[in-house]
Amino acid sequence: MPDLQLPIIGYMHSPYQEKFGIPRQPNLVQVESYIEMIAPYNDLCAFEGIAEFSHLWLIWQFHENKNSNENHKFRPQVRPPRLGGNQKIGVFATRSMYRPAPIGLSVVQLKSVKKVGKSVHVYVTGSDLLDGTPIIDIKPYIQYSDAILHAKSAYAQQAPVKKQVICSKNVQSKIQRLIEMDKMTVQTQDELEQVLSLDPRPAYQDDEKRIYKMKFAGLDVSFTVHEHEVSITDIVEMD
């Protein structure tokens, strides 16, 4: 049987500029992003009627896996972050990126669809996609059939507990200067704090003295994590 060939219909533009820091599920952070559709899919006619739906399914490609199954043997078990990164379970019982087909599925909230130059942009919130992620398909979310209110979700039944995000007066001053210089917006600050509140560290890391670094929306962000809070220690514009 021949391999399945899937077209790329567009690319995601998001503030997530590296895998570290991306929420582990969609809709945990209300970050705004947009899909830039490419020809021949950049036709507004293809989106007629979509505004009647509040949410969409995005089908997309894990495109930056360093250990993709395309080049390595099938791994039947993986270590989910929600289980501490140490316990192995079957790959089909997880949403791990390391799977037979490098395909992801995310629900996002639709904001608008606009013609921008020769392209069409699909604006959404709640995405958990890396900047530049190839989009394979877009489908409407159907509330009566897609929402299973009493579904059981094993180890991922509850949403993660959020931590308080704090920063020193010096960091607050830096953020204010970045906003005044149009290098950052108040919305970006809010989105960054939402991301950090989820504690983006791998589950097996628990060093309160370690300074972690994350790239987000053109910014290099440094932070430490404690039991109930995340402290931003520095923030600068990326080179």
Residue 33 maps to which CATH number?
2.40.30.70
231 and 125 in one domain? Answer: no
Distance of CA 66 to CAs 98, 102, 128, 162, Å? Answer: 10, 12, 19, 29
Q: How far is 233 from 223, CA to CA, in rounded Å?
A: 5
130 and 60 in one domain? Answer: yes
pTM listed for this prediction: 0.89
Does residue 159 fall inside a structural domain?
Answer: no
221 and 190 in one domain? Answer: yes
Q: Tally the domains of the chain.
A: 2
Per-residue pLDDT, 30? 93
Shortest CA distance to 162 belongs to which of 81, 95, 229?
229
42 and 117 in one domain? Answer: yes
Strands (DSSP E) found in the chain? 10-13, 32-37, 55-61, 77-78, 89-90, 103-116, 119-125, 134-140, 164-167, 212-216, 219-225, 229-237
Per-residue pLDDT, 83? 74
Per-residue pLDDT, 202? 79
Per-residue pLDDT, 68? 53
Does residue 30 fall inside a structural domain?
Answer: yes
176 and 141 in one domain? Answer: no
Question: Which residues are CB-contacts of 157 (< 8 A; sequence separation ≥ 6)?
Answer: none
5-31 pLDDT tens trace: 899 999 999 999 999 999 988 999 999
Domain extent for 54: 10-65+102-146
Does residue 154 fall inside a structural domain?
Answer: no
Question: Which residues are CB-contacts of 118 (< 8 A; sequence separation ≥ 6)?
Answer: 39, 42
pLDDT tens per residue, the chain (239 residues)? 567 889 999 999 999 999 999 998 899 999 999 999 999 999 999 999 999 999 999 999 988 766 554 556 888 888 877 776 678 889 898 888 888 888 999 999 999 999 999 999 999 999 999 999 999 999 999 999 998 888 888 877 777 889 999 998 999 999 999 999 999 999 999 999 999 999 988 777 788 889 999 999 999 999 999 989 999 999 999 87
DSSP reduced 3-state for 107:
strand
Does residue 78 fall inside a structural domain?
Answer: no
Residues 76, 90 contacting (CB under 8 angstroms):
yes
Domain boundary among 118, 146, 174: 146
59 and 140 in one domain? Answer: yes
106-149 pLDDT tens trace: 999 999 999 999 999 999 999 999 999 999 999 999 999 998 88
Residue 216 maps to which CATH number?
3.30.2310
Does residue 47 fall inside a structural domain?
Answer: yes
